[in-house]
Amino acid sequence: MAPTLVSVSHARALHLVEDFGSAPPNRFQGGREFAHLHPHHDGSLHLSLPDWVIDQAVRSGWGVPHPVQDAFLVFGPRDRTELEIVWHLVQLSYAWAIGDLVADTSQ
């Protein structure tokens, strides 16, 4: 984890190193940042995800699309079960950032 390029100063971000992965730049929030965790009092995070994952997560009540950035706001987990689901979303964001996840489930 490293400082974020796009969020509040106390947020911590996940970045890919240069030349790792094959995803296009529009899958990142800034630089090679694909996710950031907001400060501990909030616990929410922003993830870069394909639209089909965002649609499913919204329908399941896990968050909302960011109103300005191409990112998804995931609500902070309240217990271990929710933490496991959020961790799965983080893993999907990583797969999206490195180019291992397709943009459309019909592909």
Between CA 105 and CA 107 the distance in angstroms is 5
Assigned domain for 107 exists: no
Name residue, tokens 């919204």: 58
**What are the backbone dihedrals phi and psi of residue 35, each rounded to the nearest 5 degrees, phi first?**
-160, 150
As a whole-number percent, the residues of the chain with pLDDT over 70 amount to 90
Domain extent, residue 44, equals: 2-98
Q: Are 56 and 104 in contact (CB under 8 A)?
A: no
**Interval 37-55: pLDDT, tens:** 887 778 899 899 999 999 9
Assigned domain for 27 exists: yes
Assigned domain for 71 exists: yes
Assigned domain for 94 exists: yes
Kindly tell me if the per-residue pLDDT of 13 is higher than 90. no
Measured at the alpha carbon of residue 63, what is the angle toward residues 58 and 67, in degrees to the nearest 5? Answer: 95
Q: Are 73 and 64 in contact (CB under 8 A)?
A: yes
Assigned domain for 104 exists: no
Structural domains counted in the chain: 1
Assigned domain for 46 exists: yes
Assigned domain for 103 exists: no
